[in-house]
Amino acid sequence: MVPFLTFGAILSLAGSAVSQQPLYAQCGGNGWTGATTCVSGAVCTKLNDWYLQCLPGNAPPVSTTTPVPTNSGPSTTPTSLPPVATPPNMSPEWQAAYEKARVAVARLSLQDKVNLATGVGWQNGHCVGNTPAISPISFPGLCLQDSPLGVRFADLVSAFPAAINVAATFNRTLMRQRGEAMGDEFRGKGIHVALGPMMNLARVPAGGRNWEGFGSDPYLSGEGAYETIIGIQSHGVQANAKHYINNEQEHSRETSSSNVDDRTQHELYALPFLRSVQANVASVMCSYNQINGSFACENDKMLNGILKGEFGFPGYVMSDWAATHSTLSVNKGLDMTMPGDITFGSGTTYFGNSLVSAVQSGSVSQARIDDLAIRILAAWYLTKQDSGFPPVNFHAWNLNDPFNKHVNVQGDHKNIIREIGAASTVLLKNVGGTLPLKAPRSIGIIGNGAGPSSRGPNGYSDRGGTDGVLAMGWGSGTADFPYLITPLEAITTRARADGTIVSSTLSDTDLNAAATVAAGKDVAFVFITSNSGEGYITVEGHAGDRNNLLAWHGGDALVARVAATNSRTVVVVNSVGPIIMEPWINHPNVTAVVWSGLPGQEAGNSLTDILYGVYNPSGRLPYTIGKTENDYGARVLYTSGPQIVQMPYTEGLFIDYRYFDKNNIAPRFEYGFGLSYTTFQYSGLSVAGSADGGTAPSGPGSSLDPWLHEKVVTVTFTLANNGTVAGHEIPQLYIALPASTNSPPKSLKGFDSVYLTPGQSKTVTLELSRFDLSIWNVAAQRWQVPTGQTGILVGASSRDIRLTGSVTN
């Protein structure tokens, strides 16, 4: 087990002894060395072997085998106080929305308020999620619709690059522009709530839905979420931060408990959600899994204690679809149940009349119902959907229904899709100037991943197939392609201008055909893939999560055969995440490797822009590519059974590159790595300022405290393009906290995308806040800047550090 911050270290940081743990703090569990008693009014409750927690009340600990209630049950007193009516440190935009919402809620009956929170049921509305209209306040009801990369179940929409590709750009401007374009499309269809972005952390490299998020680092994920939310909500569409929290794999996602210590939760998995709150995100979706023995959608600690408490989240929490487990989940922080019925099509609900009865019996307070109603309506007012918002104009369940107005919302979004596709492409290897291409006489194109699907781009339901160019994974996080440009099509079109002869075979298994096409060509492109998605679809034996990190369809053998035939073999990878490249990466004839990821509808064009040098590659890996799957700190747990599967996060803070660094494991390609067609020089590091002095607050709204987020350290350096091609460099800032904190050797805390022409130089400035330099002090339940020297590391990747400095706090 990776040690947590020892109690002694915490005492030295806090500067005073702590003998009792505060409300919601950890108070025991395997490996715990801190205090085991709680403050008055809280009891140390065993949730599982790994986690005991100070929960409100004086009742005996709750057994983890107690059945979850299936109805509102008898009249009981709520086990925790409802959240405060006005969260502290609320933004001016939220304050104005709350004022309107309070006025509106005062006009509503109990039934109206409950109806605001109760979905109408699976497939009982035009959207994947729907709430009813409330006539006294002219509230039209809400349309909630997937997905994080475009409008699902609709026509005449765009299929954007997946979030994992957006993360690979390390470019906030492109992140924002994608969000704006998606917000425009959701609004154009009359959708009130876009169900994204997704910001789970790719804890396990084979996790099925990793590609829906922004990679394995909480800082980059937070920035991706922040910019996406700002972009979506700039068009008056409510964004939805999901899946809160620790929904890190598909196997047993509804029957498992992610057992996570308090520090790891704050510093890793919750951080992107805090950044979402800073972006004024309207809503948060709680996940299917349990956290420390309690289901996410009725987890008092995570919903009331952290999200609505420490983070001061003013919006509403909705359940993932059918992730509500009881009526009294309302007391634990759940505000809306989706899609409304207990199970799809059951016609029953934990909310609705059951919730009305719970209020009438005293099990749920009227104040709590007012609170959830205010939160839901405030989000509606926040995004100004009370004025001029278009009505729903599509039918998710039947595109041929007369209700569908077939509104084309694509605009010019293909341009930003193509740009992001290129900017997210990572050049991993380029020997002898193989790329960019310079009017070769002949090109061989090999592999199914270069061509079209045999069923067309939308031939597999929710993209549940791996056939043709891979431009998104599968599941609810998808959208229909309006078209899909294949690499074969795009390369052939471009090659025609040079008079280049293109030959191809689109079989992954006909190795003789592959060798024939590759033989004698100036360059041979071999396309390989690896796919994953949501667990309700199994593709080629992969039940959501990948079974391993190997290329699909015998990709290794295909590369080997082509490389044995052609001395200028270029491997193009379209993958949801890392694959093991060891069988061929060092082959002398594999002279270039291009990581295309999941680029969306312009896949072929984006790739061709890179191959021909129209766009100088600047993508960087948002995860580590290891040499074996065993090199990673955590892996998918494929165990299943009738009991809740325990998933101990014993690696703690050390996931992905943090684990590689801590254990001195050499990756194949490190986090943040990527090549360019030019070279860049770093010089002149200056570090000014300090986070020394003062104490961060604790309690409600404390994680939003302006003092905590004030920029107090300024890092400057000079970046120069000393090559011959214009392009973007991605400088990355990592910090190395004092050894006494038991922190990762390096943690990303800053980045930029800087465009430079040949010979040009620029001064780059990156700033750090007290929060950036803090750890979570479990005993004091507050953020704390460690005393001592913190390293400032600036470079081109997590392992290519060019400049080093420090700050003393």
pLDDT the model gives residue 485: 98
At residue 400, the pLDDT reads 94
pLDDT confidence of residue 49:
58
Judged against a pLDDT cut of 80, whether residue 239 lies above it is answered with: yes
Residue range 672-688: average pLDDT?
98
- What are the tens digits of pLDDT across the range 156-193? 999 999 999 999 999 999 999 999 999 999 999 999 99
Q: In this predicted model, which residue has the larger pLDDT, 438 or 28? A: 438
Q: What's the rounded mean pLDDT across residues 40-61? A: 62
Phi and psi torsions of 40, nearest 5°? -60, 135
* pLDDT at res. 781: 96
Coil vs helix vs strand at 182: helix
pLDDT at 64: 27
Residue-wise over 407-422: b if at least 16 C-beta within 10 A, else e? Answer: bebbeebbebbbbbbb
pLDDT reported for residue 48: 53
pLDDT class for 14, splitting at 50, 70, 90? very low
Q: State the pLDDT at residue 80.
A: 38
Query: 501-532: per-residue pLDDT in tens?
Result: 999 999 999 999 999 999 999 999 999 999 99
Please give the pLDDT value at position 6.
30
Pick from 369, 353, 484, 363: nearest CA to 417: 484
Cα separation values, 199 from 13, 247, 331, 639, 754, Å: 30, 10, 25, 24, 25
At 639 the pLDDT is 87
- Cα 245 to Cα 523: distance, rounded to the nearest angstrom: 46
What are the tens digits of pLDDT across the range 563-622?
999 999 999 999 999 999 999 999 999 999 999 999 999 999 999 999 999 999 999 999
Residue 71 has pLDDT above 70, yes or no: no
Lowest model confidence (mean pLDDT) among 21-35, 136-150, 371-385, 480-494: 21-35
- Report the mean per-residue pLDDT for the chain: 92
Q: Given a cut of 90, is residue 87 above it in pLDDT?
A: no
- Domains of the chain in sequence order: 415-624 (3.40.50.1700), 678-808 (2.60.40.10)
Supply the pLDDT for residue 45: 74
pLDDT over 80 (residue 72) = no
- The DSSP output letter for 502 is E
The letter for the amino acid at 145 is Q
- Between 25-29, 395-399, 730-734, the lowest mean confidence (pLDDT) is in 25-29
The pLDDT value recorded for residue 74 is 30
Over residues 266-300, the pLDDT tens digits come to: 999 999 999 999 999 999 999 999 999 999 999 99
In this structure, what token pair is assigned to residue 414?
A: 């293909």
- The answer, yes or no, to whether residue 415 has pLDDT greater than 80, is yes
Residue listed under structure tokens 């890179």: 610
Q: What is the mean pLDDT of residues 96-117?
A: 97
Q: Percent of the chain beyond pLDDT 90? A: 88
pLDDT at 155 over 70: yes
Q: Quick one: CA dihedral 321, 323, 327, 332, positive or negative?
A: negative
Task: State yes or no: pLDDT of 70 exceeds 80.
Answer: no
Report whether pLDDT(98) > 80: yes
| Strand order across the 290-291 sheet | 294-295, 290-291, 256-259, 645-648
Position of tokens 């053998």? 557
* The two three-digit tokens of residue 90, written as one number: 């609320």
Annotation says 320 is catalytic: yes
Residue 30: the pLDDT is: 57
Average pLDDT in the 764-778 region? Answer: 98
Cα→Cα distances 280→3, 521, 541, 792, Å: 35, 54, 40, 30
Calculated CA dihedral for residues 412, 415, 418, 421, nearest 10 degrees: -90
pLDDT computed for residue 231 by the predictor: 98
What pLDDT score does 77 carry? 33
- Tell me the two tokens of residue 740: 């006494």
Indicate whether 18 pLDDT > 70: no
Which pLDDT does position 52 carry in this prediction? 72
Give pTM, 2 decimals.
Answer: 0.91
201's CB contacts (< 8 A; 6+ apart) are 213, 215, 216, 217, 218, 221, 248, 268, 269, 272, 655
CB 722 within 8 A of CB 687: no
Order of strands, sheet of 590-595, starting from the edge strand that comes earlier in the sequence? 426-430, 590-595, 569-575, 523-530, 442-446, 501-505
Residue 24 has pLDDT above 60, yes or no: no
Q: Among residues 261, 300, 320, 772, which one is catalytic?
A: 320
Reported as a pLDDT band with limits 50, 70 and 90, residue 640 is confident
Q: Is the pLDDT of residue 756 over 60?
A: yes
Side chain identity at residue 469, one-letter code = V
pLDDT at 33: 62
Per-residue pLDDT for 55 more than 80? no
Dump pLDDT digits (tens) for 438-480: 999 999 999 999 999 999 999 999 999 999 999 999 999 999 9
Taking the C-alpha atoms of residue 175 and residue 392, their distance in angstroms, rounded to an integer, is 26
